[in-house]
């Protein structure tokens, strides 16, 4: 079946622009995670959704970062007024739900802020 | 808070040989899961192997096996009969169990290069 998909795969934004990154999880997966991966580093947790509820947003680095999953399926990560330090790969992952610990990752969106 | 440490930034191995990647972690949890993920240059993260902390037996998946030392908080990955396709960044990751929803904490990664 289809895996996790993300779009766009690459995004170049000028400093100060707003961007929206999309994640389509595996159908039926209750849990959805966003991670930020700086170049040459391990991913770092940003936020977690269980269905449409955002249960943990402790990893969002600032109030410029906002995520939503209004119908419990597709999720969007929005970054307002992008800064150079936002340049990273943004990974989305999904899992069957709480208690299922295997996460399936998408290919990521590489964001470059110039 | 949990931390995961991978002390080997880069490793290399000859094709068909065996290599071991190291990982240590720190947690106060008693119920947790440990994972090794592989991230090839295409960047799609793939699960290689997982270990439940309550299981004493080390997990094995074909050429991949782990050495899980719970008391030492050590979780190393052994790759046998290395293949060119094993070239990738490898991440060790931790997830609390129980009622946790499974947020992953990753190490810094180890770049593995398999030479022909």
What are the extents of the domains in chain A? 5-113
pLDDT of residue B87: 96
Question: How far is B45 from chain A, CA to nearest CA, in Å?
Answer: 6
Task: Give the dihedral of Cα atoms B1, B3, A56, A23; nearest 10 deg.
Answer: 180
Interfacial residues of B (vs A; Cβ cutoff 8 Å): 4, 33, 35, 37, 42-47, 50, 91, 93, 95, 97, 99-109
Q: What is the mean pLDDT of residues B6-30?
A: 96
pLDDT of residue A100: 80
* Record: fold of B3-115: Immunoglobulin-like (2.60.40)
Q: What is the distance between the alpha carbons of residues A110 and A89, in angstroms, rounded to a whole number?
A: 4
pLDDT of residue B14: 98
Q: Which of B43, B101, B104 is nearest residue A50 as measured by Cβ atoms?
A: B101
% of chain B at pLDDT higher than 70: 97
Q: What is the mean pLDDT of residues A6-28?
A: 97
Q: Where are the domains of chain B?
A: 3-115
Are A11 and A21 spatial neighbours (Cβ–Cβ below 8 Å)?
yes
Residue B78 has pLDDT above 60, yes or no: yes
Residue A1 has pLDDT above 70, yes or no: no
Q: What is the distance between the alpha carbons of residues B57 and B36, in angstroms, rounded to a whole number?
A: 16
User: Phi, psi (5° rounding) for residue B7?
Assistant: -90, -5
Q: Which of A42, A50, A100 is nearest residue B91 as measured by Cβ atoms?
A: A42
What does the pLDDT look like over A30-48, one tens digit per residue?
999 999 999 989 999 999 9
Q: What is the mean pLDDT of residues B60-79?
A: 97
Q: What is the distance between the alpha carbons of residues A18 and A22, in angstroms, rounded to a whole number?
A: 14
Superfamily of domain A5-113: Immunoglobulins (2.60.40.10)
């Amino acid at each position: 079946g289809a895996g996790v998909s993300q779009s766009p795969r690459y995004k170049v934004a000028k400093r100060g622009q707003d961007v929206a990154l999309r994640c389509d999880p595996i159908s039926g997966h209750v849990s959805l995670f966003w991670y930020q991966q700086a170049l040459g580093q391990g991913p770092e947790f940003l936020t977690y959704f269980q269905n449409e509820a955002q249960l943990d947003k402790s990893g969002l680095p600032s109030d410029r970062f906002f995520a939503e999953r209004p119908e419990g399926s597709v999720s969007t990560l929005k970054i307002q007024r992008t800064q150079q330090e936002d340049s990273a790969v943004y990974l989305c992952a999904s899992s069957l739900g709480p208690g299922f610990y295997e996460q399936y990752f998408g290919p990521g969106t590489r964001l470059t802020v110039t | 808070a949990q931390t995961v440490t991978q002390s080997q930034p880069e490793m290399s191995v000859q094709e068909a040989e065996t290599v071991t990647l190291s990982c240590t972690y720190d947690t106060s949890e008693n119920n947790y899961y440990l994972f090794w993920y592989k991230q090839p240059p295409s960047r799609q993260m793939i699960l290689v192997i997982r270990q439940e902390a309550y299981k004493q037996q080390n997990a094995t998946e074909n050429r991949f096996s782990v050495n899980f030392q719970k008391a030492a908080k050590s979780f190393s990955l052994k790759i046998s009969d290395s293949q060119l396709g094993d070239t990738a960044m490898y991440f060790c990751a931790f997830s609390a169990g129980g009622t946790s929803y499974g947020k992953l904490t990753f190490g810094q990664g180890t770049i593995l290069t398999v030479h022909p």
